[in-house]
Amino acid sequence: MSDLGTTLNPPQPDNPPNAEGNLMTNDGALPPQQIAARYFEMWNTGDVSIAVQILHANWIDHAHPEVSGPHGVQQAIEQIRAAQPDLRFQIDAILGDDDLIAVAGAVSQTAQHSPTRLVWLIGMKDGQMAEMWTYRDTSK
């Protein structure tokens, strides 16, 4: 298990967004797995500048339907990180490709609390995250 801040490489300056605003690599758009990893990195770092590139305009998190669209996520991250600065997402695995991917990991609110195991299912559309469902491990 690793902290996303040390495992992800941000896009290089020579990899500009394409016409739709999606981040690009030298051979095309970022793979869905990397887009999902960038989403959780955004939560861990508080850098919300990438939200409009990785989140579809009609973004919906079914666990938090009150937060919609990239700008809603930006505001939520800023508010939640202000209230819980130690909140951290940890990614253990990202599976799938194309239109549906699964992310297995955990979230911890403080260093004193045990992480909560979660699985996120993410629907992709037009090279961006369009919707997400969150499942919590209730076996404990």
Q: At what angle do helices 69-83 and 32-45 cross, to 10 degrees?
A: 40
58: pLDDT strictly greater than 90: yes
Mean pLDDT of the chain: 84
Over range 4-14, report the average pLDDT: 39
Whole-model pTM over 0.85? no
Do residues 115 and 108 make contact, with C-beta atoms less than 8 angstroms apart? yes
**Residue 61 parent element (H or E):** strand 55-61
Do residues 131 and 99 make contact, with C-beta atoms less than 8 angstroms apart? no
Give pLDDT, residue 97. Answer: 83
